Amino acid sequence: MDIGYLFLIISFLSSLYATYAFYIGSKSDKKVAIRLLKRAENSLYIYTISIIVSILILTYYFLIRDFNVRYVYLYSDRHLSPLYTISAVWAGREGSLLLWAVYIAILNVLALKIERKDRVLALSLSISSFIFLFLSLLLLTTSNPFVRLEFTPQDGYGLIPLLRTPEMALHPPTIFLGYAGATLPFSIAIASMYLRSQWENRIRIWTLITWIFLSIGIFLGGWWAYKTLGWGGFWAWDPVENASLLPWLTATALIHGLIRRFRHLNFWLTSTTFMLVILATFITRSGIIESVHAFGESAEAYFYLALITFSALLSFKVYKGKTHTENKKSASTIRDLTLIMNIFILSLSAITILLGTLTPLFSDVVVGKSFYNRIEIPLGTLLVILLGICIAMDWKFNKEVFLLRIKISSLIGIIAGIIVFFVTSMSIASLASGIFLFSLINHIQTIKPTDYKNPRKFGGYITHIGLLLLFIGVMGSWIYEEHYKVEIPVGGSYKAGEYELKLKDVIFSEDEEKVVATAIVDVYKDGNLKAELNPKLINYKIKRQERIVSGVSIDSSVERDYYIAISGISQNKGFFEFYVIPLVSFVWIGSIVMIIGGLFAMSYRLKFD
């Protein structure tokens, strides 16, 4: 037996005991409870340490290039640089599952360290240890990363070339931390509901962690797609992308729900977020939904369906069992109403995406991108308007002040819209910039310098402004993108709209890792040189079928990107996909600002402890 597998077994057994002991401990009298919970805590430490040791062992196998380990053989080779060799640990199904389990274990330890030690925490840790138990069972059976081959190959199969980018090296570690983060809110909510305890303050930090890391993961995925895949976009409404966006949307709704105690709503948002995380795993790993991405078919997937069913039943049970005598905080103020509307829009977004993503499961049709765009663009726009209105209100609603703010921001928005229309004569652009400024001005009017000391509020403001920038970026790049299929002989030129593209040369080069064809393309507009681009076609010398990768070339500036990818090339001719994408930089800036806002909001809780 491999030593790494041995640590997985230790992990499995101790999490089994922890699940049991935390559960019994949460129900026992004080004396028994103290004794049992002490043991439960120790098993929690044991399974955390063992799972960390096993991922370190796997990393070690990668670094010493032990191709006798099947997983190492499949995802690396001798020429792979040390950093990408480490990233290969989570390049496949087994390793990423292992990473996910590591995160859940570490977060459970963190919860034990910073949460109040009471019955609720004990029961929560029993639930979250059970989820860990579930994952470690999969690691022992269907997704064992320590399977050894009967012989030792001379060289590995090689890391998938598309994953050899910094973004893709970092995408799984962030997105899985986001996934893992959803476990604790779910466990705490279930446990608290069962024990009839107040829980919403306790889950806030864990929900924020989920939100921040899902955001970073989704952002890295989008950025990677843009820089790597060569179709000029960052979001294709692909099932795998949707899968991660779904829990992000409900987590966002939840963070807003937590501002006020919309207890029932919050409970279901928490539970749904967790179930959507598991659904995301199911979608990616089952290969059941046809997609460019999700093709890793595995029996493991059906276990996730079982986990979703279990979570849903558990949620219904504790929800039904709960007496509804609590002081229900209903939407009493007008600002509460806008918060509810916000949660409503985010939920509708999630329902739309869920419907589009799951349709192929139940019928023989494919849902096109236009479905999502037709629903999500209006919903997003509505959300931005609502955001402006909501922020213009104070918790203590003052009608005169509110109307004054709205008048000022509407006026500025309308003027800006008219100016944009006269300059560009583009109707959607002027509408979007009007809405953008309306919402932005309302934020500026209500923020006070002293708010800096209130990270929850200030972090929220930063995230909102990030969202507004993202909105501008999405509108610009989705609606005003230009795309040309270009065919140029070497030394010749091609007219694409108002642009002229010249193919100066095609250079072939080779090193021990790959063969590269580089095209030198200059972009002219009105006779002026606008950009010098050098798209590549890279052919990796590995055993994999996925050998050829298109190296996209982008000339970025704040207002637009020139973007080109090779679609076919020979000694004397090149075929290209050429895009001019306005304002796409706002997508990146906006996303980063949103994430910074999230981090800022989190510093609130950290300061208190």
Please choose, out of 46-54, 156-164, 400-408, 513-521, the segment that lies near other proteins by the rule CB under 8 A: 156-164
The partner residues of 349 in beta bridges, in order of sequence, read none
Cα–Cα dist 109/264, whole Å: 28
Residue 566 within binding range of other proteins, rule CB under 8 A: yes
Residue (327 or 370) nearer to other proteins, CB: 370
Report the nearest approach of other proteins to the CB of residue 545 (Å).
Answer: 5
Tell me which H or E stretch contains 553. strand 553-556
Question: Least distance to other proteins from the beta carbon of 424, Å?
Answer: 28
**Which runs of E-coded beta strand occur in 446-552?**
482-489, 493-496, 499-510, 514-525, 528-533, 536-540, 548-551
Q: Contact region for other proteins (CB under 8 A) — 9-17, 293-301, 395-403, 501-509?
A: 293-301
CA distance linking residue 191 with residue 188, whole number of Å: 5
What's the min distance (Å) between Cβ of 215 and other proteins? 14
Site map (CB under 8 A) of other proteins, residues 336-365, x = contact: -x--xx--x---x---x--xx--xx---xx
Residue 299 within binding range of other proteins, rule CB under 8 A: no
Phi, psi at 291, each rounded to 5°: -165, 155
Stretch that binds other proteins, among 55-63, 367-375, 424-432, 442-450 (CB under 8 A): 367-375
Q: Which of 33, 36, 51, 91 binds other proteins (CB under 8 A)?
A: 91
Please choose, out of 11-19, 126-134, 278-286, 421-429, the segment that lies near other proteins by the rule CB under 8 A: 278-286
Decide: residue 401, CB within 10 A, 0-12 exposed, 13-18 middle, 19+ buried: middle
Q: Which residues make Cβ contacts (< 8 Å) with residue 168, sequence separation at least 6?
A: 87, 162, 220, 224, 228
Q: How far is CA 238 from the centre of its chain?
A: 13
Give the C-alpha separation, 447 to 138, whole Å.
49
Give me the least distance between CB of 29 and other proteins, in Å please.
41
Comparing CA positions, the residue from 254, 249, 172 lying closest to residue 216 is 172
Restricted to residues 445-504, the positions that interact with other proteins (CB under 8 A) are 485, 487
Which sign, positive or negative, has the C-alpha torsion 76, 12, 134, 210? negative
Name the segment binding other proteins (CB under 8 A); options: 248-256, 268-276, 457-465, 562-570.
Answer: 562-570
Of 3, 60, 295, 299, the one binding other proteins (CB under 8 A) is 295
Q: Which of 65, 293, 483, 541 binds other proteins (CB under 8 A)?
A: 293
CA–CA dist 356, 573 (Å, integer): 40
326 touches other proteins (CB under 8 A): no
Among positions 78, 374, 407, 543, the unique one binding other proteins when judged by CB under 8 A: 374
Query: Which residue in the set 46, 110, 140, 162 belongs to the binding site for other proteins (CB under 8 A)?
Result: 162
**Other beta carbons less than 10 A from residue 592's beta carbon:** 16
Site for other proteins in 168-197 (CB under 8 A): 168, 171-172, 175-176, 179
> What would the two tokens of residue 23 be?
């559960």
Q: Are 190 and 313 in contact (CB under 8 A)?
A: no
Shortest distance, CB of residue 319 to other proteins, whole angstroms? Answer: 18
Q: How far is the CB of 477 from other proteins (least distance, A)?
A: 20
Of the residues 292, 306, 385, 403, which one makes contact with other proteins according to CB under 8 A: 292
Determine if 547 is a binding residue for other proteins (CB under 8 A).
yes
Q: Which of 110, 375, 444, 589 binds other proteins (CB under 8 A)?
A: 375
Residues within window 130-149 making contact with other proteins, judged by CB under 8 A: none
Asked if residue 290 binds other proteins (CB under 8 A), the reply is: yes
Q: Minimum Å distance from CB 410 to other proteins? A: 21
Q: Please, what is the minimum distance in Å from the beta carbon of residue 341 to other proteins?
A: 8
Residue showing tokens 């929690």 = 44
- 338: helix, strand or coil: helix
Nearer to other proteins, 489 or 497 (CB): 489
∠ Cα 153 154 155 (to 5°) = 95
Q: Tell me how far, at minimum, the Cβ of 292 lies from other proteins, in Å.
A: 5
Alpha-helical regions (H) of 392-487 = 399-424, 427-446, 455-479
List 8, 133, 135, 240, residue binding other proteins (CB under 8 A): 240
Paired tokens of 550: 């298109």
For 368, 390, 400, 406, 440, the CA distances from 445, given in Å and listed in that order, are 41, 12, 14, 10, 9
Site for other proteins, residues 3 to 62, rule: CB under 8 A: none
One residue of 149, 366, 418, 558 binding other proteins per CB under 8 A: 366
* Distance of alpha carbon 357 from alpha carbon 286, whole angstroms: 14
Q: 553-556 and 573-582: which strand pairing?
A: unpaired
> At its nearest, how many Å lie between other proteins and the CB of residue 194?
25
Contact segment (CB under 8 A) with other proteins among 192-200, 369-377, 506-514, 578-586 equals: 369-377
d(CA 564, CA 574): 12
